[in-house]
Structures are given as C-alpha cells and as structure tokens.
Amino acid sequence: MRGVGHLTYDVSMTESTHHSLQRHPRVTIEAASELIYVDIPTLREWARLGDLVIEQQGDMEVVQLEVVTALASRHRAARRGTLHNRLREAEGTPSSGEVVSVVDLQELARDRER
C-alpha cells in the first residue's frame, strides 16, 4: 500500500522512456498516401526528384509525415493557381468580384474543351 503523497505509479510520466507523441513521426508510404490523399506513385516521384526521403526500416518503406504534408500542400496550391489562371483566360469568365457556382465553372470548362 502506498502512503499519502507518493506517486501512484512507480515512474512518473515525465520520466517514461516511451513517448506517446513524436515530433516528426515516420509512417509507411501507404499510410502517408491515405492520410494526405496523395497516391504512392506521386510520393515515389517526389523521392526520385530529391524532395522526399524514403527510408527502409525492415521490410517497410517509411517517410516523414511532416514532409509529405508540406509537399502535398505546395503541390495543391500550384494546381489551384493553374486552374485559376486557366479560368481567367476563358471567354465569359466572371469578374473576380462575382460569386460563381460549381455548375457555372463546369459549364465554362465544357465550353473551353469544345
């Protein structure tokens, strides 16, 4: 039985050797793909270009989740900018102050393809 004022556990939580949260977690490329919504070939392409490091741990390939998140964010921003530029060039595109519905944007895209 423990006396009053003693720790409930043998080792305080701050002295524990196991950490529940890691600063820069490494996950498998499959997990990164699912968590960040990026396909595996894209992750491998980023690694081929030197933007991402894929490490081998046993029979698993792991990546730093933080790096994949940053790369995916930059990639999405670049694609979004390209789409905005294409729509700006399209004939009949509303001015930037007007509210546009998705249906209007889809119609503009169809018209442009014709």
Q: Does 19 map to a domain?
A: no
Q: What angle do CA 110, 78, 42 make, to 5 degrees?
A: 95
Instruction: List, in sequence order, every residue forming a beta bridge with 61; answer none if it has no partner.
Output: 56
Structure confidence at residue 114 as a pLDDT band (50, 70, 90): low
The number of distinct structural domains making up the chain is 1
Q: Does 111 map to a domain?
A: no
Q: Does 73 map to a domain?
A: yes
Q: Does 107 map to a domain?
A: no
Q: Does 53 map to a domain?
A: yes
Res 84: pLDDT: 65
Find tokens 């595109």 and name the residue. 93
Res 83: pLDDT: 65
Alpha helices in 4-64, H assignment, sequence order: 29-36, 40-49
What tokens does 3 get? 């006396």
Question: What's the whole-number average pLDDT of the chain?
Answer: 76
Q: Does 32 map to a domain?
A: yes
Range(s) of the domain holding residue 62: 24-90
- The mean-pLDDT minimum among 53-57, 65-69, 106-110 falls in 106-110
The enclosing domain of 28 has a CATH number of 1.10.1660
Q: Give the pLDDT confidence of 58-107 residue by residue, as tens digits.
A: 999 999 999 999 999 888 766 666 666 666 666 555 555 565 677 777 77
Find which of 12-21, 30-39, 87-96 is predicted with most confidence, using mean pLDDT.
30-39
Q: Does 3 map to a domain?
A: no
Instruction: List, in sequence order, every residue forming a beta bridge with 57; answer none if it has no partner.
Output: 60
Res 64: pLDDT: 93
Contact 8, 2 (CB under 8 A): yes
Res 112: pLDDT: 74
Q: Does 83 map to a domain?
A: yes
